[in-house]
């Protein structure tokens, strides 16, 4: 998959706004094999590439037809009030080079848990891998877990030549009993409330009431 890009000659907030109004996205390209530089590319074409290769997928960045780079999306920023990409960081790499990537973690099988709740503590893991071999996501099956069980990063089984960077004792998910919800019957709450105390009543007043 290839994405065409142009070198970005103007920088700054005003220039970035102009680029976005024209339907393009400003981006930075960096890596151990290249000096950092800025580019712009068409927003729709970039979104098409992401749909094709996935979140961590590798694609070719063609810069003005002169240079091509193998890259993946290291980070992207979305607009606050619009569902569109605001800026992107692309990491370039050489064939066979390993890089550090963040892989999203999802739970599966939690709907099969009986009277238990899965509490996910970790939503992504950091690994070192050749980008072309990197998984786009990782699913943790919790269907066989019981209340009191938990899984750590050390329990994850990643195939291929992958080194996990995240601390192995980090909890990924734990299973607990659901919180008990106590239902209050209508009128029950009012019946349990203490009677209001008469402020300012003296002992003499109370004695007068008793005499009456």
- What was the pLDDT predicted at 195? 62
Q: How far apart are CA 120 and CA 7, in angstroms?
A: 42
- What was the pLDDT predicted at 210? 47
Radius of gyration (C-alpha) of the chain in whole angstroms: 29
- What was the pLDDT predicted at 48? 95
Where in the chain is CATH 2.40.240.10? 2-94
pLDDT digit string (tens) for the chain, length 212 residues: 999 999 998 888 899 889 999 999 999 999 998 999 999 999 999 999 999 998 789 999 999 999 999 999 999 988 777 778 889 999 999 988 999 999 999 999 988 888 899 999 999 999 999 998 999 899 999 999 999 999 999 999 998 899 999 999 999 999 999 876 556 666 655 556 666 565 555 555 544 544 44
18 SS3 class: helix
CATH of domain 100-176: 2.170.120.20
Q: H-helix or E-strand containing 124?
A: strand 124-129
Fold of 2-94: Ribosomal Protein L25; Chain P (2.40.240)
Q: How far apart are CA 114 and CA 122, in angstroms?
A: 22
Phi, psi of 151 (to 5 degrees): -125, 140
User: Which residue has tokens 């963040």?
Assistant: 102
> Measured between alpha carbons, how far is residue 194 from residues 59, 65, 197, 201 in Å?
70, 81, 9, 18
- What was the pLDDT predicted at 112? 84
What's the token pair of residue 29? 């390209």
Phi, psi of 35 (to 5 degrees): -85, 140
Where in the chain is CATH 2.170.120.20? 100-176
């Amino acid at each position: 998959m290839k994405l065409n890009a142009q070198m970005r000659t103007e920088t700054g907030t005003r220039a970035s706004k102009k680029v976005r109004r024209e339907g393009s996205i400003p981006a930075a390209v960096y890596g151990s094999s290249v000096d950092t530089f800025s580019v712009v590319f068409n927003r729709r074409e970039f979104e098409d590439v992401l749909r094709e290769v996935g979140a961590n997928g590798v694609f070719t960045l063609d810069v003005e037809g002169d240079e091509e780079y193998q890259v993946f999306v290291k980070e992207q920023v979305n607009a606050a009030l619009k569902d569109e990409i605001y800026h992107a960081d692309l990491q370039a790499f050489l064939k066979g080079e390993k890089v550090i990537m963040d892989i999203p973690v999802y739970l599966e099988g939690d709907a099969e848990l009986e009277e238990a709740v899965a509490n996910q503590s970790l939503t992504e893991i950091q690994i070192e891998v050749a980008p072309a071999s990197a998984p786009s996501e990782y699913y943790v099956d919790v269907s066989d877990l019981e209340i009191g069980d938990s899984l750590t990063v050390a329990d994850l089984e990643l195939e291929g030549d992958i080194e996990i960077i995240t601390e192995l004792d980090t909890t990924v998910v734990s299973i607990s009993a659901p919180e008990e919800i106590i239902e209050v019957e209508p009128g029950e709450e009012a019946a349990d409330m203490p009677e209001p105390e008469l402020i300012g009543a003296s002992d003499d007043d109370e004695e007068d009431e008793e005499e009456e």
